[in-house]
Structure 1
Amino acid sequence: MSYGRSDPVQAQPMGMQQMQVPPQGDRNPNNMPFDGNGERAWSNGLCSCFGSCGTCLEAAFCPCITYGRNKARLDYLRAQGKPDPSGGECCTGDCMLHCVLTVFLGLGCLVQIGNRGRTRERYRIRGGCCGDCMASWCCQACALTQESREIEGEEDSYSRRY
């Protein structure tokens, strides 16, 4: 029975290029359990900010610097898919905006609320705008330190992989 072609095949099939998977950091390095909605708790509690004393002191006395550094690190991870080699520039426009809002209006936490929400979104942490607002307003240094430690967990996972 012939199917229209009687010539034998003369060539081997070409090999396929191996799939390349871009490197990614572990966005849940402490293996926090996820709930039914695919969300988890923060890796470190709001009041465990003293686990990173340097960041906590910086956030208490110069929150604009910690905010600027957190935002730069998060933006770099989002855009480049790897940690910022400089550790996050601190004196950026975001830092200056936070500083001006804090010094003149006492409202630096307003820009912090948005960045806290982006941090929660990236790491699939449960919560909402109201919780972000309360944490940023009532305990700005603790909230900034908590965000920094969450970002640091992903950044550290890159060095463990290579």
Structure 2
Amino acid sequence: MSVASGNRNVKNLPVGADGRDWSNGLCGCCSAPGTCITAWCCPCITYGRVKNRYAHLNSRGSPDPDQGGCCSSDCMIHGCITMLGFGWVMQMMLRGDIRSRYNISGGGCGDCCTAFCCTPCELTQESRELELEEQTYGKY
């Protein structure tokens, strides 16, 4: 989908043949303490917000005015699946979608390992990537 405004590479990171790096490192989650704490305590809420913000940007070409909301159906499904030990699978799929949107290098194996081993940091990294694009619209 073509977006009229919004910069998907806000930091103007170099783009190689296989894409670019994430705008923020995986271990940089402490620079967004609110998101990081929520991702540690209630990953389902952070996942739901990221999923809704991503979907809004992807389908409407503008930031979600509710900034992802709170307890959406995505949040509820993630919470239930997490209780069974498989919430990371949903995160892995969303991570691949976000990588594709922002032309970020990597692959399914890396997405799987990151979602499984580093859930809070992974969710925070994705949230911050979306936030950078949202800020270029001038609303946030």
TM-score class, shorter-chain normalisation, is over 0.9
Displacement of 1:89: 1.9
Distance in 2 (alpha carbons) for counterparts of 1:49 and 1:22: 28
Alignment of 1:67-146 (within 5 A): 67-103=47-83, 105-146=84-125
The code of the aligned residue for 1:25 comes to G
Provide Cα deviations, 1:83-139, integer angstroms capped at 9, x if missing partner.
Answer: 011111231111111100112x12111111110000000000000111001110001
Provide Cα deviations, 1:44-69, integer angstroms capped at 9, x if missing partner.
Answer: 11111111010000000000000000
1:96 aligned counterpart, secondary structure: helix
Partner of 1:26: 7
Distance in 2 (alpha carbons) for counterparts of 1:36 and 1:81: 26
Structure 1 residues 22 and 115: CA distance shift in structure 2, 3 A: closer
Larger radius of gyration: 1
Partner of 1:10: none
Partner of 2:39: 59
1:70–1:148 Cα contact (<8 Å) kept: yes
More relative contact order in 1 or in 2 (CA 8 Å, sep 6+)?
2
Distance in 2 (alpha carbons) for counterparts of 1:55 and 1:128: 25
Which 4+ residue blocks in structure 1 deviate beyond 6 angstroms?
none
The code of the aligned residue for 1:139 comes to C
Distance in 2 (alpha carbons) for counterparts of 1:124 and 1:24: 17
Identity rate, percent: 51
Q: TM-score of the superposition, structure 1-length normalised? A: 0.82
Displacement of 1:22: 6.0
RMSD: 1.4
Gaps of 5+ in 2: none
